[in-house]
Amino acid sequence: MLDLDMPVMDGFQVCMHIRSQIWGAKLPIIAFTGKDLLSLQKNCTLAGFDNFLSEPASQQELATSIVSTYQ
């Protein structure tokens, strides 16, 4: 799970870096953000995220997102 708003590298950059590594090609990665997710979904998909989750997220939303990402 990566926050999209991090100080040095944003979540898109981190995701693309992970995806460029042999060990990270199939690692499940979920984007987590407080921004308008609908406008970011295309960028998340292009960066290699498997799933998206908006803040604030309930425990049920978090669990559902994790389960659906691993299936």
Residue 71, pLDDT above cutoff 80: no
* 0.85 exceeded by pTM: no
Question: What is the per-residue pLDDT for 6?
Answer: 87
pLDDT in tens, 3-52: 998 889 999 999 999 999 999 998 999 998 887 767 788 888 889 999 88
Question: What is the per-residue pLDDT for 48?
Answer: 92
CATH classification (class only), 2-70? alpha beta
Contact between residue 18 and residue 50 where contact means Cβ atoms under 8 Å apart: no
Distance CA 36, CA 67 (A): 23
Domain locations in the chain as residue ranges? 2-70
What Å distances lie between residue 12 and 24, 29, 59, CA to CA? 14, 11, 24
Using DSSP's 3-state secondary structure scheme, residue 26 falls into coil
Residue 15: name the closest of 2, 6, 26, 34 by CA.
2
Distance CA 60, CA 66 (A): 10
